[in-house]
Structure 1
Amino acid sequence: MIDLVPEERAALLLVARAALARALGAPADPPAAPGRLASLRAGVFVSWTVDGERRGSLGAIAPSAPLLEETAAMAVRAALEDPRTPPVTAAELPRARCTVALAAAPEPLDDPGRLDPARQGLSVTHGDHAAVLLPAAAAGQGWGAAEYLKHACLRAGLRADAAALPGTRVLAFEVLEVGDVIGTAG
């Protein structure tokens, strides 16, 4: 799994905030990226909350661009294009809180009992049904591995026990979550 030093974590969050600020018409210079961030690749999920209310969360397990580009694109898409929530506005930007979750390469989940809901994400697909569940969804729920897997299946619109059905593909991946504090706009 990718590990980031504090300066890299801060830079990643500044990239997300600056991208959203520019998309909303606010002035924001792209921050300088410390060393290796410019060449890293990882799946990226970006989530936004405003005043504690979820306002968008989108991402991709497989990277389609270098990490900084992927983070900037997902930050804007999550804040402005998530069909489940109203878009973040320019007036809300100073109160918006961002979380960036980096996803390591997914692997088939061979032993559901070894799943760690605190540090692993899940991707469940069966036919046209698909969902991704990140550790943040399980935080504070008290879910063990079986409950976490059940909720991933349900989020995909499948039966709770769909992971055991033929044709269901379950992938697990390590997740590193990086969250910011309100008012750290770049």
Structure 2
Amino acid sequence: MAASCCGVKRQKVSPPTTCCNGSVVHPNQSNGTNGVKKHYVVTAEMCLFCFDVLFKHLHNSEPPPAPNFTNDAYPIFVTWKIAPNRRLRGCIGTFNANHLHDGLREYAITSALKDNRFPPVTRDELPRLLCSVSLLTHFEEAANYLDWEVGVHGIKIEFYNEKGNKRTATYLPEVASEQGWDKIQTIDTLLQKGGYKSAITPDFRKTIRLIRYRSEKVTISYADYIGQKNKMLHNGHV
């Protein structure tokens, strides 16, 4: 089953989800509660790897070797945006846990070239791209459609459209706050993007099944990628 942050999509990779999310740099280590350092699985190296995969694909080169970061399994989203206004250029992921090495390799290409809302990313666009990797965590069944927090939780909704077909759609955690939406606005836009065309009533909202979740996210630019590659070349690692 495929769903979308911006509506339901039907992709051929399994099972993909397209989304539109923001570009917030998330450090690998940050202060948690009581000043305790909180460890994040997501790292900048994951974005560097996605850039490497896309770069080599667009230049018809051999794919990069397996990276050194963890190969644990997580639900994954890869997002591409383009400077100067950070316009969304493609975003596809999955709610199924994928081993990171193969998952990022797959979705780096799929999100850049097969998000059917956009034309495929071109080689000429590479220098203006930003890449974000989001790992989804802490999935919870919500008590109702309001049982989540803006700016904290991503949400995945399931609902039945006018024809009685089950549809799903999702927003990553940063979407609502970036758009300045409250909970009702977020739910209603997500329903509309998911293909619901009728008037949205309080009673209909109560029929929604909502899953809330959190994410770890990191973003880097193409300049970061090239800088890191040059550093590795200088040190004899490439």
Q: Is it true that 1:83 corresponds to 2:116 in the alignment?
A: yes
Match of 2:140 in 1: 107
Match 1:49 to one of 81, 84, 93: 81
Distance in 2 of aligned mates of 1:56 and 1:151: 19
Q: Is the 8 A contact 1:125 1:170 kept in 2?
A: yes
In structure 1, the residue matched to 2:218 is: 178
Give distance in 2, aligned partners of 1:109 and 1:14.
Answer: 35
Q: How many residues align?
A: 178
CA distance in 1, matches of 2:94, 2:138: 11
Matched, 1:22 2:56: yes
2: CA distance between counterparts of 1:103 and 1:25? 31
CA RMSD of aligned residues (A): 2.5
Larger mean CA deviation between 79-88 and 89-98 belongs to 89-98
1:9-53 Cα distance to aligned partner (Å, 9 max, x none): 11111121111112212657447423xx22x21111111112222
- In structure 2, distance between residues paired with 1:57 and 1:90: 17
Among residues 143, 149, 157, which one is paired with 1:124 in the alignment?
Answer: 157
Unmatched tracts of structure 1, length 5 or more? none
Are residues 119 and 23 of structure 1, via their aligned partners in 2, closer, same or farther at CA, if it must alter by over 3 Å? farther
1:53-64 paired onto structure 2 within 5 Å: 53-63=87-97
- Alpha-carbon contact 1:124-1:171 (below 8 Å) kept: yes
SS at the partner of 2:78? strand
Structure with the higher helix share, 1 or 2: 1
Check conservation: 1:123, 1:152, Cα contact below 8 A: no
1:139-158 aligned within 5 A: 139-158=177-196
CA distance in structure 2 between the aligned counterparts of 1:75 and 1:146, rounded to whole angstroms: 32
Report the TM-score, using the length of structure 2 for normalisation: 0.65
Partner of 2:28: 5
Contact 1:119 1:174 in 2 (8 A): yes
Answer yes or no: is 1:169 the counterpart of 2:209: yes
Q: Is this contact kept in 2: 1:42–1:105, CA < 8 A?
A: no
- SS of match in other structure, 2:96: coil
Please, which runs of 5 or more residues in structure 2 have no aligned partner? 1-25, 30-40, 160-164, 230-238
Q: State whether residues 67 and 101 of structure 2, in contact with CA within 8 Å, keep that contact through their aligned partners in structure 1.
A: no
CA spacing shift, 1:124–1:42, aligned 2, 3 Å = same
Among candidates 171, 174, 177, match of residue 133 of structure 1: 171
Distance 2:193 2:176 in 1: 13
Identity level (%): 22
Alpha-carbon distance, 1:83 to partner: 0.4
Moved more, 18-27 or 51-60: 18-27
Query: Max radius of gyration: which structure?
Result: 2
In 1, are the aligned partners of 2:42 and 2:217 still within 8 Å (CA)? no
Matched to 2:153, the amino acid is Q
Offset at residue 163 of structure 1 (A): 3.5
